[in-house]
Amino acid sequence: MTRTAQVVRATAETDIGVQVDLDGTGTADVATGVGFFDHMLSALARHSLVDLTVRAKGDTWVDDHHTVEDVGIACGQALAQALGDKRGIRRFGSAAVPLDEALVLAAVDVSGRGELFWDVPIGPAKVGTFDTELGHEFFVGLARDAGITLHLRLVCGKNAHHILEATFKAAARALRVAVESDPRVDDVPSTKGSL
Averaged pLDDT, 178-185: 95
Averaged pLDDT, 19-37: 98
Task: Give how far Cα 160 sits from Cα of 13, 34, 39, 102, 127, Å.
Answer: 27, 17, 14, 9, 6
pLDDT value at 182 more than 80: yes
CA dihedral 70, 121, 47, 55 (to 10 degrees): 20
Report the chain's mean pLDDT, rounded to a whole number.
97
Averaged pLDDT, 63-90: 97
Residue 32 contacts residue 56 (beta carbons within 8 Å) = yes
Model pTM score: 0.97
φ, ψ for residue 156, nearest 5 deg? -160, 160
Instruction: Note the pLDDT of residue 193.
Output: 82
Helices (H), the chain: 35-48, 65-83, 134-146, 160-179
Confidence of residue 195 (pLDDT cuts 50, 70, 90): confident
Between CA 170 and CA 59 the distance in angstroms is 29
pLDDT value at 1 more than 80: no
Instruction: Note the pLDDT of residue 108.
Output: 98
At 107-120, the pLDDT tens digits run: 999 999 999 999 99
Residue 157 contacts residue 103 (beta carbons within 8 Å) = yes
pLDDT value at 191 more than 90: no
pLDDT value at 81 more than 90: yes
Between CA 189 and CA 110 the distance in angstroms is 10
Residue 44 contacts residue 150 (beta carbons within 8 Å) = no
pLDDT value at 71 more than 80: yes
Between CA 164 and CA 52 the distance in angstroms is 19
Strands 130-131 and 92-99, sheet pairing: unpaired
Instruction: Note the pLDDT of residue 152.
Output: 99
Instruction: Note the pLDDT of residue 172.
Output: 98
Residue 78 contacts residue 91 (beta carbons within 8 Å) = no
Domains in the chain (CATH in brackets) are: 4-179 (3.30.230.40)
Between CA 118 and CA 128 the distance in angstroms is 22
Residue 90 contacts residue 179 (beta carbons within 8 Å) = yes
Confidence of residue 192 (pLDDT cuts 50, 70, 90): confident
